[in-house]
Amino acid sequence: MNNTTYNQIVSFIWSIADDCLRDVYVRGKYRDVILPMTVIRRLDSVLEDTKENVLQMKKTLDEAGILNQNDALCNAAGQAFCNSSPFTLRDLKSRAKNQQLKADFIAYLDGFSPNVQEILEKFKFRNQIDTMIEADILGAVIEKFVSPSINLSPNPVLDDKGNEKLPALDNHTMGVIFEELIRRFNEENNEEAGEHFTPRDVVELMADVIFMPIKDQITDGTYLCYDGASGTGGMLTTAEERLNELAKEHDKQVAIHLYGQEINPETYAITKADLLIKGEGEEADNIYYGSTISSDGLATKEFDFMLSNPPYGKTWKTDEEKLGGKKGITDPRFVISFKDEPEYKMLPRVSDGQMLFLANNIAKMKQNTKLGSRIAEVHNGSSLFTGDAGQGESNLRRYVIESDYLEAIIALPENMFYNTGIATYIWVLSNRKEDRRRGKVQLIDATSLKSPLRKNLGNKNCELTPEIRSKIMETFLNFEENEYSKIFNNEEFGYYKITVERPMRDENGEIITDKKGKPKADKDLRDTEQIPLTYEGGIEKFFKDEVISFAPDAWIDYKKTQIGYEISFTKYFYKPVELRNLEDIVADIKKLEAKTDGLLSEIIGG
């Protein structure tokens, strides 16, 4: 299908909202009708050719008294879905009376198979029927969607002579059209779009960092892609496209299966619908509804590739309670045996659960395959440094880095997303690092690599063009230090947090001791110190150099010593502002004074 036809279909569907809904719905609610109706019309058109087969099969099954009919009806339809009602959408456009139209339309919707019913339920589409009937617009909406001006069918429309009047709409193009409608609605509602919509340019960069390093290792076979915060499914479908492209370039035959989970009902419905209308009915069954954190729908699965943009700055209090309360959580994704701790907890503060999604992905890594697993995940800055040594966020960073999973972190430009202008970062993880990356982490500062948009989309005022993405990927793949790239040994991000005690003294200055003669610690004088893991000579040398010389009576409470990890882009990429020399400043002041005809001297001299 050419771009002209594609644009005509998108514009036509988009115009239905203005033509039919404008006086009934506020603009932000147009999607509540247009998206589900687009899905319904596509499914309806796919099923048209086999409608009689389905009706005949239903009659046979009814006469035989068979109740569980779904599989047989879908087989008769030749699809992963079906509609066993006596109607098609075209049948309904001629209804003269609204109440008859309502009854028949509901009967038509009820005829869809359970997988479509779930989509309609999550869209809450039936809630719109009364509104449209009362406003007398349901018939008009249906008539628009079955208009002879557009073709949403996988078959071409022919004229009386058998010539093609309108081209067929294949599954892929239908999916792209649907995604374009989603994108437009997200832009219209930009105040909430970022909750479930990651810009295409960011997603494409994430797909590149996942696949490009291993493109030569792709073999004939099956690969599983996963997104535990799948939103409208854009990351999954982009990953699928990219992996298919690379496989084709290397003459490999791959089967790609998509898996995801989403807690928002509408975006969950969109993902399922998008896969259905692309002809990927089996993949649609791999998308689960509910909270990934407290109701993991894929607890026993492992995946080759994982991409996510989890919500940040969002409480996980409800999940915490469902998991048993913070002290009672034993979920093996978040509480593990690590080093010398049998219950090593990686639970972040309850006000921000984003890092739980990273722990979830790590738990789903394949450990026994040649490629292992690769992860790309978007976080805001807090994941880099929040949490003190021994706290959940720091513990997770320590686990990731000391397990040598962290390949790189890429700092993106500000204002890249639709609903926030804050700094964001792509974490890149692998449990099969190439030799040159082992024991090392690459930090890439891409904050200045951006292209301005002609028109802001919510908070998004810039983008990563293909050329910019290529530059970032070149920096990542070269694995060399330059103005955008720094490479560190893993331990350079870690530190010991030690507790320094001072003795308690009474009024005459003598040290107070316990029954064993040991000095009692004065809580008011207690202090902590952070010592880099790379400090030459370690804790003892630091204590001797930095503490004893100032407080000779101090000692370390080794039982309280903990290891923490944090990552500071600001420190590593700090560029000091070059100050002007004094002579230039004085010369400028004299020039200004001369321009004001001695006014400065009058003011200062009084």
pLDDT value for 416? 85
pLDDT value for 287? 95
pLDDT value for 598? 60
pTM reported for the whole predicted model:
0.85
Phi-psi region of 17 (alpha: psi -120 to 50; beta: other; left: phi over 0): alpha
Residue spans of the chain under pLDDT 50: 191-194, 196
pLDDT value for 194? 43
The count of other CB atoms within 10 Å of the CB of residue 583 is 8
Kindly report the average pLDDT of the chain as a whole number: 91
Which token pair is 416?
Answer: 């890249």
| Sequence-ordered alpha helix ranges (H) in 189-280 | 190-193, 200-211, 234-249, 265-277
pLDDT value for 191? 47
Secondary structure of 12-48 in the HEC alphabet? HHHHHHHHHHCCCCCHHHCHHHHHHHHHHHHHHHHHH
In the CATH scheme, what architecture does the domain 189-492 have? 3-Layer(aba) Sandwich (3.40)
For the chain, give every domain's residue range.
3-176, 189-492, 493-571, 579-606
Rg (C-alpha) for the chain, rounded Å, is 31
